[in-house]
Amino acid sequence: MSPRHVVQFALVSLMLLLLGAGCGGVVTASRPDLDDDDTGSGDDDDTGSGDDDDTGSGDDDDAAVTPPADPSEAGLFAFTVSSTQAGGMDATVYVPQGSGPFPVIVFTHGFQLSPSDYVSYGEQLASWGYVAVLPQFPGSFLSSPTHTELRNSVVSLLDWLDGSPAALGAAADPSQLGLAGHSLGGKIALLVASSDPRPDAVFAIDPVDAAPPNGGSPQDYPSVAPELMSEITIPAVFLGELQNAVSGGLGPACAPEGENFQSYYSAATSPSMELEVLGASHMSFVDNPACLACLLCPAGTDDPLVSKSLTREFMTAFFESKLRGELWPDAWLGGPELDELQSSGFIAAQLKNGF
């Protein structure tokens, strides 16, 4: 949600608090089966496991391009969940069980939201063997930090990761670092990526570049797109929606045209992918799209369960490719799985700069 909704949010908050409403609950789902015959799971004659005369490398090749699990669903790792202080911020930490090494993903939340609105993302990442750190931004509804202050808070968290890796478990490997975030959190992830050399990849979910209603100074609320995009040199995915690109409902656009995921992608100079989740709204990506803050953003025409499943699916494939160097995600990042999702009307995608 864009900071432009502060006044409207206060009015709606008062109304709904009187009615006893509020955020809560976590929902997860997988996208419907697409009946894709080319899944590598059974009936394909070209399996490398039968009568092929070239028996030396077929099994290895098949294993390299076959995911260990469906990336739209939970992976194979059990995990623990705990709360800690991370670089001066409260944080929820999801840690896989095992010997690792496990890359680290820092996932930052949207405006007036919290880590509890993104539980399914932390669980997904941990189940696939990533340590997921979901910090709670400092401040309150009446006193929000500037975007520069939020960037600095995340940088302090990265410093904490470097100085206290054992706090995340002996198997955590912060030298393999990804950033992710939604809405304001997506912008902050990109702002960090533009100025800090430590992240290796960034996955931004409907990032919003907007400053508060009063504008603020460029020093406090720097615009990332297009001004700082040339400073981002790591692979990036910009995933978003167009349902809330124009004003509607109780306030201005939640992810306004000119400040949304398309703006970031247009200005990107690093290997980049743009993904539009067709029919989704700005709040389709949170675990409970009917939460209090979510009411300011009109609903889309999608099933939010499917939109979140698709988002987690591409997030998983992206980090498996860019942090672990796996080959199977190629099917999602420019191959047959992406083609099938596009032809089925779930996703519209663009790639550039050698992504």
Structure tokens that stand for 44 in this block: 């394909």
Q: Which residues contact 21 (CB under 8 A, 6 or more apart)?
A: 292
Residue with token string 């460029």? 218
Structure tokens that stand for 56 in this block: 């030396």
| Cα distance between the two ends of the chain | 28
The kind and range of the H/E element at 317 are helix 304-322
Q: What is the CA radius of gyration of the chain?
A: 20
Q: How far apart are CA 48 and CA 23, in angstroms?
A: 50
Structure tokens that stand for 178 in this block: 């990804």
For residue 66, the SS3 value is coil
> One digit per residue, pLDDT tens: the chain, 355 residues?
544 444 344 444 433 333 233 333 333 334 444 334 443 333 444 444 444 444 445 555 666 779 999 999 999 999 999 999 999 999 999 999 999 999 999 999 999 899 999 999 999 999 999 999 999 999 876 778 999 999 999 999 999 999 887 788 889 999 999 999 999 999 999 999 999 999 999 999 999 998 876 778 999 999 999 999 999 999 999 999 998 887 765 667 888 899 999 999 999 999 999 999 999 999 999 998 777 777 778 899 999 999 999 999 999 999 999 999 999 999 999 999 999 999 999 999 999 999 9
Do strands 272-277 and 236-240 pair parallel, antiparallel, or not at all (unpaired)? Answer: parallel
Structure tokens that stand for 284 in this block: 């389709």
Structure tokens that stand for 344 in this block: 């089925």
* Burial tier of 99 (Cβ tally within 10 Å: 0-12, 13-18, 19+): exposed
Q: Which residues contact 160 (CB under 8 A, 6 or more apart)?
A: 86, 87, 88, 167
Segments making up each domain of the chain, as ranges: 79-352
Fold of 79-352: Rossmann fold (3.40.50)
